[in-house]
Each structure stands twice: as C-alpha cells, then as structure tokens.
Amino acid sequence: MNRDIEKLLKEKWFLVAADLTAVIGILCLGLNPKDGFEAFLAVAGIMGASLFVVIPVLKEGSGKSERLAEQARLRTALAEEIDRLREDFRAGTEAVNRRVTEVELTARKTTDAAVAAVAQRASAEINALKASLAEGEVRLQELQQSSGQNTETKEAMDDLGARVQSLANAVRGAVADVEEITEVAARRDDVTKQIQESAEEMKAVWDEVKKAAQKADRAVTKVESAVEALQTRLDALAENPPVASAPSQPSVVDDEPEAELISEEEAETPVLELEDEPVAEVTAASPASGGTSLIINLMIGIGNKPFVRGTGPGLSPDKGIPMSFLGIGRWQWISPDAEAPATVEIWKNDQAQIGEPVHLSGGEPVEIDEAHFSGA
C-alpha cells in the first residue's frame, strides 16, 4: 500500500497538487462550519476536488487490469498448447515403446524357434551320420575278409560309394542349416540396431520440444516487457500531450496525437517466434479476390511452414517459396501472373512433400482443406 501511494505521489504529483490547491481555496472561503448549508457546500467542494486524483487513478487501474487479464489469457493459451504437445509426444513415445517391445519379442521367438528346429535337425543328421559310419566300418571289414570274391567286392564298393554320397549330402544340409542360423541372428542384430536408432531419434525430438517450450516462455516474457514499456510510453504521452500549433483547427490537433500513438504501438508490437515461424504476425495478408492463387487450410504444427514448388509463373521444382500466413491453420500463395495456369506442390519446411499436386486452371483462386493432405 505504501508503495502504491509512493508511486502515486511520484507519477501524479501535479494532480495531488491541484487537489490540495482546490481544498485550500475552499477552506480560505471562510465558510461557517456551524451553518449546515455552508458546511455541506464545503464537504461537497472537497469531495469534488478529490475527483482530480480519483478519476485518473480509476482509469489507470482499469487499463492495467485489462492488460493483466490479456497477459494471463495468453499465458494460459500457451501453457495449454505446450501441455497438449507434451501429451501427444508422450503418447507417441509410449506407442513406439510398445511397438519396439512387440518387435523384440517376435524376433526373439522366431529366432529361438528357428535355432531349436535347426539344432534338432542337425542332431538327427549327426546321429544318422554316426550310424552310417559304424555300418560302413562293419561293411569294410566284411569286404576285407571276402576280398577273394570279385563280384561281391564290386557290389560292396558300389554300396559304400552310395553311402559316402549320402553322407556328403547330409553334411551339405548341416552347413546350410548353420548358414540359415547365422542369417537369422544377423537380421535380429539389424532389428536391434534400428530400435536403438529410433530411441535416439525420439530423444532428440523430445529435446527439441523442450527447447521450443523454453523459447515460448522467453517470447511471452518479451511480449510482457514490450507491453509494459509501450504502456509507460503511452502514459508519458498522455501526461505531456503535444501542444497544438493552430488553435483554430481542433480537428487537426485531436487527430495528430492519435496517429502518433498508433504508429508507435505498431512499431513496438513484438513478434512471438517459435522455431523461426511468425506465429504472432499481426499484419497477415488478405486472401486474393481474383487471379491465380492457392489457399490451404492445414494445421501444420508449431515451428513448421508450408512451401510451394511446381511448374508455373514464379515456381521451381527444386526450391520452394514460403506461403503467406493468413490466420491459424490458413496459408496462401498468389501467382505473379493472374491468368496463367500452374501445378503446385505443397512441401513441409521445403523438405518433404505433403499431399498430391494441385492443378490451378488460372484466373481464379482455389482453396483446399486438410482432407486433401490426409488422403481422404
């Protein structure tokens, strides 16, 4: 309270001095306090003199409350937008984590099943190889004992060659199984590597969201400082208005300060920037009333901006042109040639194309909504 009184005496001293002068003048009239009518006149005069201070203070308090309410509304809207972005990011992160867990479980089950099947088949083939080798040794001993009989020796040698060939085929199958196991393990390593890269990308996105929130907070603080500075300057101009040079033309005197105030307010209006996008642009372009132009209704997200590429006047298929900001979720591009046709592609931040190309027949504006970009 003492601080408010100190501020009042410092900034409105001339009003306080005028009030005191009026009160002293009323007291100097020498009104009789015992006379009811004169006492009423003295009280009424003193109360009327107090209006010199009360009315400006009430007006200033009303304007200040409106500014504080507007600042609180902007803060609330910004906080809601940041909370919504955080919730969307958290939901996306949880979905990615669930999907990663499912992919890991599926890959692990597939790999384990393949390894178990290959191991079982390899074990069976190894047992068969051992049995075949034992039988071959017995057959070889029999051949050595009956080496005098040429016919039986030839048949036994043929049988032994067939067994050796079957053993070779079994060995080839075992080698193929081992190669299959190696390939499955390599695929699982690739999946694990992709999962790790996705986690790192999500972490980088989260860091960018945090930086955007910090920038938004700093921008709000900057806006508030600019508003307070502007209000201080307006108060100074209101306390010391420019002196009129031509009393016979009151209309000119009244209009000049207003024009000066408006120009200064527009010159000092801050621009709220989030990720290099003019989100808080005050002077947005108006939609074209005729000629070749394209208007899109697209919520592209904070920090992003649509660009146009294509074929036609002023367009290039390799480098985009930023679209003009009309309002929240509304952008416009106007062709340099009002009658020429054009084929326009919409690119997000001039990096990735969104939606299908739009053909403009020329001579009239075309407007598309968000369903065009979602594929509906």
pLDDT tens column, 36-88: 887 888 788 888 877 867 777 777 666 567 777 788 888 888 888 898 898 88
Question: Which CATH superfamily groups domain 285-374?
Answer: Immunoglobulins (2.60.40.10)
Per-residue model confidence (pLDDT) at position 308: 95
- pLDDT (0 to 100) of residue 258: 42
Q: At 1, list the tokens.
A: 């309270």
Ramachandran region, residue 342 (left: φ > 0; alpha: ψ -120 to 50; beta: rest): beta
The answer to whether 198 and 96 are in contact (CB under 8 A) is yes
Q: How far apart are CA 169 and CA 316, in angstroms?
A: 63
pLDDT of residue 283: 41
Contact 146, 152 (CB under 8 A): yes
pLDDT at 286: 54
Query: What pLDDT is stored for residue 347 in this prediction?
Result: 94
d(CA 323, CA 74): 26
Q: What are the residue ranges of CATH 2.60.40.10 in the chain? A: 285-374
Low-confidence residues of the chain, pLDDT below 50? 244-284
pTM score of the predicted model: 0.28
HSE of 257, CA atoms in CB hemisphere, 13 A: 17
Write the single-letter amino acid at 318: D
Q: What pLDDT, on a 0 to 100 scale, did the predictor assign at position 141? A: 74
Position 376 scores a pLDDT of 52
Q: How many Å apart are CA 347 and CA 343, to the nearest integer?
A: 13
